[in-house]
Amino acid sequence: MKKVFLMMMVLMFLNIVVQAQKKSLKGSMPFKAPCTTLMGSALLPTAIDTTQGRSVANNDLIWENGDVILVKFMDDVGSQSLRNMIMQYAKSWEQYANITFKFVPDNTPVTNIRVKLGSRDDNLGHNSQLGIACNNVPQYLQTLNLDTSDFIDYKAYVEQYKKGGPFLEYLKRKGTNFNNYTYGDLYKDVVAFKDPNIKWNYSSMRGTTTHEFGHALGLLHEQSYPNGIKWNKDTVYKYYAKYQGWNKAKVDFNVLEASDIFYTNGTSYDPLSIMHYPVLAWQTLDGFTVGSNTELSDGDKKIIAALYPKDKKISELAVPKIQITNIDYGEIKTDNVKKGLLIYPSFDIQTSALLGTVYFVARLTTEDGMYYIPTTNENYSWNKMAATYVKMRLMPSTNTSFNKNGKKNLELFFPFKEMPDLKGQKVKVEFSVYQDDVVNNRYQKLTFNFLSSPVTVPGK
């Protein structure tokens, strides 16, 4: 009996020591990770255009108006209540856009968008593929990452830490050393705690989720609006280098630069946009700031309604789009009877609701694939480089397979006699698809290309 009493006294004493030590928290609260959607990663290397301004969207990547986009969560991660909130925020776009995010069970084999709920440990951050670029991602990979540890209401756990509660009990149970206990330690412990009654920061969750689903609809970062913000570049570089480990190029790309790949959709700069990063006074030369936007702005509602109108079949901002998938090198052969190169690229092509004209182009390159070969031939040339091409009008909203399953339905022919003098030399053939973009008065919008293995030109 005495022993037990003594034990209790010791435990009480230890508890007092712990109580006395745990009052303070060192360091500062960790930052929420910024969105790391790469504006260029989903886009094509030879981006063209634009004129004045830009828009909040990449019109080349918007879905068809009225599309039902299939979305699933990956890997059985996330409680139903968390998923419900994320679905609700994603679907907030539907109120203004003629688009449906249809959430389907995790075991659905084919979906358009796949959400991976991660945490600080896996370092995936917050990001999304842009618009229909989601369709280019293999089914086993996610198209949208959300770091749910940024959605936790840490203030609630700081409260428990200071005043007691299940979280403090958990810390004691695992023998936490409260000397020099920092905010960083606390944030980590909160994630590890896996509170069954987790306290969420719903405005943070809403802001980030809505933002990422905005990317999934084809929207871009608003802070890139040209001359919208007078950045204090040096401090911005230092900040992102320190807290995100980003190099200058990444900061330029994600934060500072107004990309020239955007369409001008007649919008004006909207600092309230959900697609805007927070901007702090020290990041700008004139002290301009933008808060953490967590709700759709009037500007967001307007642009998304223009891109996906409910009262029209096709948006006025729509551009003809083609998507090319299932590419393989096809077949290239020298034909000594026809005396030329026969080129059979193999791919599937899908068109949007607008009629498009495409050029299937095969250009000769040097054996290393580094240089095009100049020509003076006017017929077998693409911008004065040796090439053969086919022009084709593609019907709207169709799927076509070329040179698949043993069928030969697209042939490009390059007669030897129309080539520059290449007798006995090895060349490669670069196959490209260009789109005639009449709406935006842009010629030759490259949609994709690939390079063959070397072939030898036998001579004329």
CA distance 214 to 219: 5
CA dihedral 87→88→89→90, nearest 10 degrees, is 50
- Output the smallest distance, CB 211 to Zn ion, in A: 5
Nearer Cβ to Zn ion (36/366): 36
Q: How many CB atoms lie within 10 A of CB 19?
A: 12
Tell me the window of 29-37, 115-123, 187-195, 449-457 that interacts with Zn ion (CB under 5 A).
29-37
Asked if 451 contacts 429 with a C-beta cutoff of 8 angstroms, the reply is yes
Nearer Cβ to Zn ion (217/433): 217
Tell me the window of 31-39, 198-206, 311-319, 330-338 that interacts with Zn ion (CB under 5 A).
31-39
Q: How many residues bind Zn ion (CB under 5 A)?
A: 2
Nearer Cβ to Zn ion (129/365): 129
Nearer Cβ to Zn ion (292/377): 292
Asked if 139 contacts 109 with a C-beta cutoff of 8 angstroms, the reply is yes
412-437 CB burial, b ≥16 within 10 A, e <16: bbbebebbbebeebebbbbbbbbbbb
Tell me the window of 34-42, 137-145, 237-245, 432-440 that interacts with Zn ion (CB under 5 A).
34-42
Nearer Cβ to Zn ion (65/129): 129
Tell me the window of 33-41, 67-75, 84-92, 339-347 that interacts with Zn ion (CB under 5 A).
33-41
CA distances from 416 to 38, 243, 326, 379, 413 (A): 43, 58, 30, 13, 10
- Output the smallest distance, CB 436 to Zn ion, in A: 31
Asked if 259 contacts 220 with a C-beta cutoff of 8 angstroms, the reply is yes
Tell me the window of 35-43, 67-75, 330-338, 413-421 that interacts with Zn ion (CB under 5 A).
35-43
Helix (H) or strand (E) holding 183: helix 183-193
Nearer Cβ to Zn ion (37/111): 37
Tell me the window of 27-35, 192-200, 259-267, 364-372 that interacts with Zn ion (CB under 5 A).
27-35
CA distances from 142 to 44, 112, 115, 189, 212 (A): 20, 10, 6, 27, 13
Nearer Cβ to Zn ion (116/445): 116
Q: Candidates 25, 33, 35, 97: give the one binding Zn ion (CB under 5 A).
A: 35
259 in contact with Zn ion (CB under 5 A): no
| 158 burial type by CB count under 10 A (0-12 exposed, 13-18 middle, 19+ buried) | middle
Of 129, 96, 99, 98, nearest to 212 (Cα)?
129
Asked if 358 contacts 391 with a C-beta cutoff of 8 angstroms, the reply is yes
- Output the smallest distance, CB 113 to Zn ion, in A: 15
- Output the smallest distance, CB 356 to Zn ion, in A: 29
- Output the smallest distance, CB 36 to Zn ion, in A: 7
> Which residue, judged by CB position, is nearest to Zn ion in the bound state?
35
Nearer Cβ to Zn ion (228/309): 228
Nearer Cβ to Zn ion (35/216): 35
Place of tokens 């080539």: 419
| 43 burial type by CB count under 10 A (0-12 exposed, 13-18 middle, 19+ buried) | middle
- Output the smallest distance, CB 357 to Zn ion, in A: 33
Q: For the residues of 17-76, what is the DSSP string, one character each?
A: HHHHHTT--BS-PPPPPPB---TTTTS-SS-----SS--SB-GGGPPPTT-EEEEEESTT
Q: Which residues contact 239 (CB under 8 A, 6 or more apart)?
A: 283
Q: Candidates 37, 209, 210, 388: give the one binding Zn ion (CB under 5 A).
A: 37
- Output the smallest distance, CB 148 to Zn ion, in A: 17
Q: Which residues contact 322 (CB under 8 A, 6 or more apart)?
A: 349, 350, 351, 352, 356, 358, 394, 433, 435, 447
- Output the smallest distance, CB 329 to Zn ion, in A: 35
Nearer Cβ to Zn ion (37/432): 37
Q: Which residues contact 148 (CB under 8 A, 6 or more apart)?
A: 78, 82, 117, 118, 119
Nearer Cβ to Zn ion (35/69): 35
- Output the smallest distance, CB 277 to Zn ion, in A: 8
- Output the smallest distance, CB 375 to Zn ion, in A: 44
Give the pair of three-digit tokens for residue 441: 């008065």
- Output the smallest distance, CB 208 to Zn ion, in A: 9
Residues engaged in binding Zn ion (CB under 5 A) = 35, 37
